[in-house]
């Protein structure tokens, strides 16, 4: 069984990116699962907190989810033309201590998708992830790109994907990424 961990970069309960991961989880091929992880409960990184109390349990739990996965699917919003602070903060926490980077991230397959109410999807945010993924030593999948523009027309009010063309694109993306993660 191929296990993919999906992480949404939004804390908002009605996030388009969380809805995108839920839709992806329903479209994984047979023999694969997509488990959705959360950033909720991860505090702002503070070296003093780390020194006094160690790594927070929410960070440790997310690190272990990633370590136990065959691949990681990041669903990133785009805030001010880049990575959301809450998402980058979680990565910064998970890279502590530095000796854990290889075990958690090293060589792990990763893909980035994103949904936005705007007309350009999350192209700038997705591009901003590349140096971060390179620094962590991850293995990005470049076999496809999924940018969900005007997400309000793609998802209904309940967060269900209603655009059949986008559903087909997402299914193809997820299937190809799962194949990549198996290698």
31-54 confidence digits (pLDDT tens): 999 999 999 999 999 999 999 999
Query: 3-state class of 12 per DSSP?
Result: coil
Residue 149 and residue 121 in contact, taking contact as beta carbons nearer than 8 Å: yes
Domain residue ranges in the chain: 2-182
| pTM over cut 0.85 | yes
Give the per-residue SS3 of 56-94: CHHHHHHHHHHHCCCEEEEECCCECCECCHHHHHHHHHH
- Reduced DSSP (H G I as helix, E B as strand, rest coil) percent helix, strand, coil of the chain, to 5: 45, 20, 35
Distance in angstroms (rounded) separating the CA atoms of residues 103 and 137: 10
pLDDT band with cut points at 50, 70 and 90 for residue 124: very high
* Residue 168 in this model has a pLDDT that exceeds 90: yes
Superfamily grouping for domain 2-182: Flavodoxin domain (3.40.50.360)
Q: Tell me the per-residue pLDDT of 141-151, one tens digit each, with 9 for 90 and over.
A: 999 899 999 99
pLDDT band with cut points at 50, 70 and 90 for residue 97: very high
Strands 109-115 and 146-148: parallel
User: Is cis: bond before 97, omega within 30 of 0?
Assistant: yes
Per-residue model confidence (pLDDT) at position 8: 96
Mean pLDDT of the chain: 97
What is the number of H-type helices and E-type strands within the chain?
8, 6
Query: 3-state class of 129 per DSSP?
Result: helix
Per-residue model confidence (pLDDT) at position 144: 86
pLDDT band with cut points at 50, 70 and 90 for residue 88: very high
Per-residue model confidence (pLDDT) at position 79: 94
Encoding tokens for residue 47? 């070296």
């Amino acid at each position: 069984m191929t296990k993919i961990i999906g992480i949404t970069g939004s804390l908002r309960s009605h996030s388009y990116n969380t809805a995108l991961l839920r839709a992806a989880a329903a479209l994984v091929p047979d023999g694969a699962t997509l488990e959705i992880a959360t950033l909720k409960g991860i505090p702002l990184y503070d070296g003093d907190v780390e020194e006094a109390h160690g790594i927070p349990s929410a960070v440790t739990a997310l690190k272990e989810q990633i370590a136990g996965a065959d691949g990681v699917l990041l669903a990133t919003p785009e805030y001010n033309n880049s990575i959301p602070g809450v998402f980058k903060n979680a990565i910064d926490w998970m890279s502590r201590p530095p000796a854990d980077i290889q075990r958690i991230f090293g060589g792990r397959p990763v893909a980035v998708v994103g949904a936005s109410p705007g007309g350009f999807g999350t192209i700038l945010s997705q591009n901003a992830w590349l140096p971060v993924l390179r620094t962590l030593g991850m293995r990005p999948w470049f076999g496809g790109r999924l940018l969900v523009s005007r997400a309000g027309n793609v998802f209904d009010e309940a967060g269900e994907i209603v655009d059949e063309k986008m559903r087909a694109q997402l299914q193809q993306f997820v299937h190809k990424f799962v194949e990549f993660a198996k290698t």
